[in-house]
Amino acid sequence: GLPSKSWLDPNTLTHALKQKNYTLVTTSAKWDDALTYCKKAGQDLASVVTVQERDKATSLIQRQSQKPLEVWVGLQKKKEWTWSDGSPVNILFLSNLFGFVKDPCGRLTTSGFQVSDCNTKLPFLCQSSEFILSNFFSLLFYFHP
């Protein structure tokens, strides 16, 4: 059968083709400033959308010497939760993202995602992406009738 519509979405395809590399920035910053910092480096705040990515990000956080072991990632809520790089949001994966703060942004801790006010200063994760050809070939195979 045909792939579901979301697979045909250019964003989804682009994300499927990209390999993410995370960089931990230990300087504490508000969410907006963290995003600006990553963008200036030609990157973005990290999107963490699979269990593998979460494990990778969490192991980076655990290498920090200073407490708390938590970082800003690219999650922000205006009306809905969104990832700053446009990745699709899976609310089930983000299960404990509730909490009543005026200006909600998402942080990743060693025990999962949590909500903080965007003006809180935290270390953060930037991500760079590179296209991976093997993913491209597996997609071509996926689309083959």
Closest alpha carbon to 113 in 75, 142, 68: 75
Most confident range (mean pLDDT) of 26-30, 110-114, 138-142 is: 26-30
Read off the pLDDT of residues 65-76 as tens digits, 9 standing for 90 and up.
666 689 999 999
Contact 114, 96 (CB under 8 A): yes
Read off the pLDDT of residues 29-62 as tens digits, 9 standing for 90 and up.
999 999 999 999 999 999 999 889 999 999 988 8
For residue 135, being part of any structural domain is answered with: no
For residue 111, being part of any structural domain is answered with: yes
For residue 144, being part of any structural domain is answered with: no
For residue 13, being part of any structural domain is answered with: no
For residue 8, being part of any structural domain is answered with: no
37 or 1, which is more confident? Answer: 37
For residue 21, being part of any structural domain is answered with: no
Q: How many domains does the chain have?
A: 1
Roughly what angle, to the nearest 10 degrees, separates helices 10-17 and 133-143? 130
For residue 55, being part of any structural domain is answered with: yes
> Which CATH number fits the domain that encloses residue 67?
3.10.100.10
User: Residues 139-143: what's their mean pLDDT?
Assistant: 53
Q: Which residues contact 4 (CB under 8 A, 6 or more apart)?
A: none
Domain limits at 65? 28-128
For residue 82, being part of any structural domain is answered with: yes
- Sort residue 112 into left (φ over 0), alpha (ψ -120 to 50) or beta: left
Six-digit token string for 77: 């809520």
- Name the pairing type of β-strands 18-29 and 122-131: antiparallel
